[in-house]
Amino acid sequence: MSKHKSSPPDNSHGFSRRSFLKGAGVAATGTAVLNSGLLGQASETHSNVIGPDATSIALNINGSVKHVPVEPRTTLAEALRHELHLTGTKIVCDRGSCSACTVMLDGMPVNSCTTFALDAVDRKITTIEGLGDPEHLHPLQAAFVEHDGMQCGYCTPGMVMSCAALLERNPNPAAADVQQAISGNICRCGTYPKVVEAVLATARSRKGA
């Protein structure tokens, strides 16, 4: 019942949590960050140490830049929920074993409860709210409604995100592909059969379109 999710590459954006925490790398990485325009006020104070108190960072969420105070230990899930009130992303196990907190980083599904908010700087973050809203559902979300791919609904945002990511990388999945893609998404109500139906129906209707 494990799930393979791509973890975000540590330093592909010229900015890593480790160097951020150490502070020693501020000159080098700080430049990159400032150039990117994504670090807020704190980095402009020329302090050698950032953290452990909250520092304002900028996150690119659902197409817009949000400034959010985070501590080095703040997870992306916590920042989304507690600071930005984007509560579609759920915290359930808080240790990467249930996938209820799944969001996309640059199109890849990740567990936001085991991703530090700082690691999401300079990445394109898509949350469930960014996929579609109740008035304008993403076709996959509409299929979840039609096929009843939910009961209590608490796992549903994470489930939808895992399936959306699957359809991005594989527009024609077989049932087994869907089961693999959601193998880390725990649903206590037992909606898996209807989730698989919904994803396959979405793929079929896209093919037909």
Partner 1 sequence: MTPVSQETQHQSKKQGVKDESKTVQKKAQETSSAAPPDSRSAELLIGIPGSRDGVKKIQRNVPADEPPQLPPNSELKVIGKRVPRYDGALKVSGAAKYPSDIHLPGMLYARFVNATVPHAKIISVDTSAAEKHPGVKAVHVLQDVLGQAELQDKAKEVPSRYPIVRYAGQPIAAVAATTPAGALEAARLVKVQYEPKPFVVERAKAREPNAPLVFPGPAAEKATAGGGGGASDVPQKGNVRGPNRGRHDAGPKGDVEKGFAGSAAIVEAEYRTQVQTHSALETHGLVADWKPDGLTVYASTQGTMSVRDELAEIFNLPKTKVRVFTEYMGGGFGAKFGASNPGAVAAHLSKKAGAPVRMFCDRKEEQWGTGNRPDAHMYVKAGASKDGTLQALKWISYGTAGVGTGAGSAGPAQNMYDCPNLLVEEYDVFTNAGPGAAMRAPGHPQGVFGLEQTIDALAEKVGMDVLEFMDKNDRSPERREERRIGAEKFGWAQKRRKPNSDPGPVKRGVGVAQAVWYRINSMDSGCEVRIHQDGSVEALSAVQDIGGGIKTVIAEIVAEELGLQPRDITVRVGDTSMPPGPPSGGSMTTTSITPAVRNAAFKAKGRFVKEVASAWRVPAASLRVADGNVSSDSGKSVSFKQAAGAMKTETVSATAMRSPEYGKRDMIFLGGVQFAEVAVDTETGVIRVERVVAVHDCGRPMNILGLESQVNGGILQAISYALFEDRRLDQNTGIMVNPNMEEYKIIGAKDMPQIEVHFIEDYLARSSTDAGGIGEPAKIPGAAAVANAVYNATGVRMYELPMTPARVLTALGKVKQGGIA
Interacting residues with partner 1 (CB under 8 A) = 1, 71, 73-74, 78, 81-82, 85-90, 92-95, 97-98, 100, 127-129, 131-134, 137, 141-142, 144-146, 148-157, 160, 178-180, 182-196
CB of 34 to partner 1, least distance (A): 27
CB of 13 to partner 1, least distance (A): 26
| CB closer to partner 1, 46 vs 136 | 136
| CB closer to partner 1, 16 vs 179 | 179
CB of 188 to partner 1, least distance (A): 5
| CB closer to partner 1, 106 vs 154 | 154
CB of 101 to partner 1, least distance (A): 11
| CB closer to partner 1, 8 vs 158 | 158
With a CB cutoff of 8 Å and minimum separation 6, the contacts of 185 are: 3, 98, 99, 100, 102, 155, 158, 159, 162
